[in-house]
Amino acid sequence: MVRFIALRLLQAIPVLFVVISATFFLVRQAPGGPFDAEKPVIPAVKRALEAKYNLDQSLWQQYLSYMGDLLQGDLGPSFKYPGWAVQDLIGSGFPVTAELGIYALLIALLIGTTAGVLAALKPNSAQDYVPMSVAMIGICMPTFLLGPLLVLVFGIWLEWLPISGWGDLPGDKILPSITLGAAYAAYVARLSRGGMLEVLSQDYIRTARAKGLPEHVVVLKHALRGGLVPVVAYLGPAFAGLLSGSFVVETIFQIPGLGRFYVQAAFNRDYTMILGTTIFLSTLIVLFNLLSDVIATWMNPRLRDGLRGGSQ
């Protein structure tokens, strides 16, 4: 087990290295720089700023000094928020984004698995077609359309829920969480339907029925564990996607999360902020993929033995 995880973490190092290097050089290829504004800065001031942030050095020198700082855990200062270190900005935005991501994930799992399992129990019936059609719509509908639609219906017409903010008014977390979770719920529904259909056709489900077990025991105890393996394997990528893809929702609902910092940083050419957020998110993606692989493996008794063997 330990060896398996250690091996996967070692594999992550070259991945992160390539991501960091590519981002570093790509953002600097983009036209403009952090201190180009609509109102031109006095050249002397601009030079002083560039000197302060080492931007007057050659690209390679900047790269090497950045990597040196990074190895010591320093993501550097933000170019746009003077006095703020990038890690502090991430630290202030991430908890909000993480909370939003967790709510969205819970919604996705709750709605998705329920719909998927129900659909699999009666394939090719209304109980299958209706949730699966809704799921298809959910996958097709982008968040920048769903968000405003929900705001229009529940915020403006029905006046049930606040239309923006995060933690300011009661219930203002509901619409953004649903908006972000909807597409994932749809995908989870399709995965769990497929997984359950496959498991329900297995011989051991026939055995469970032949034992005279009540149908809910057959489904929840005998089928669900195997049927949800694909969903669990998808959780890692899903959570990473929720975190890194939340900026649209954060923008629509005016949520002070990491996603908004990320997009603003890109517009502002805030090199260190872009890099810092990219590193942070890609590390999370690697970790969550690993985590969901470990859980999916752990759920299968046969592979579990292999993991144990690997630690010896």
Partner 1 sequence: MLLQVDNLSVSFATRNGVQAAVKNVSYSVDKGQILGIVGESGSGKSVSCYSLLGLIPQPPGRIDSGTALFNGEDLLKLSPARQRDIRGNRIAMIFQDPMTSLNPFLSIGEQLLEPLVYHHDCSRAEARSRALQLLDEVGIVDGERKFSSFPHEFSGGMRQRVMIAMALITEPELLIADEPTTALDVTIQAQILRLIADLQSRHNIGVIFISHDLAVVNQLADHVLVMNKGEIVEAGPGERVLHKPQQAYTQTLIASTPRGAKIASGRERERDSETLVSVRSLSTSFVDYSSHAAKRVRAVNDVSFDLYRGEILGLVGESGSGKSTLGRSILRLVNVDEGTIEYDGVDLLALQGNDLMPYRQRMQMIFQDPFASLNPRMTIYDALAEPLLYHGLANRQSVQSAVLQLMDDVGLEGRFIRKYPHEFSGGQRQRIAIARALATGPEFIVTDEPVSALDVTVQKQILELLLALVAKHNLSMLFISHDLSVVRYLCDRVLVMRQASIIEAGDVENVWRDPASDYTRQLLASAPVL
**Which residues are at the interface with partner 1 (CB under 8 A)?**
4, 202-204, 206-214, 217, 221-222, 225-226, 299-303, 305-307, 309-310
Nearer to partner 1, 61 or 311 (CB): 311
Please say which residue, 46 or 225, places its beta carbon nearer to partner 1: 225
The residue (of 39 and 302) whose beta carbon lies closer to partner 1 is: 302
For the bound state, the minimum distance from the C-beta of residue 123 to partner 1, rounded and expressed in Å, comes to 11
Listed in sequence order, the residues at least 6 apart from 194 whose beta carbon sits closer than 8 Å to its beta carbon are 116, 120, 230
Q: What gap in Å lies between CA 230 and CA 191, rounded to an integer?
A: 6
Closer residue to partner 1 in complex, CB, 9/217: 217
Task: Output the smallest distance, CB 215 to partner 1, in A.
Answer: 8
Distance in Å, CB of 201 to partner 1, minimum: 10
Dihedral, CA atoms, 121, 126, 130, 136, nearest 10 degrees? 70
Tokens at 166, concatenated: 């995060």
Among residues 193 and 260, whose Cβ is nearest to partner 1?
A: 193
Secondary structure (3-state) at 141: coil
- In whole angstroms, how close is the CB of 210 to partner 1 at the nearest point? 4
CB of 132 to partner 1, least distance (A): 20
Q: Where are the alpha helices (DSSP H) in the chain?
A: 2-29, 43-52, 59-71, 86-121, 126-140, 143-150, 174-200, 203-210, 215-217, 224-227, 229-244, 247-252, 258-268, 271-299, 301-311
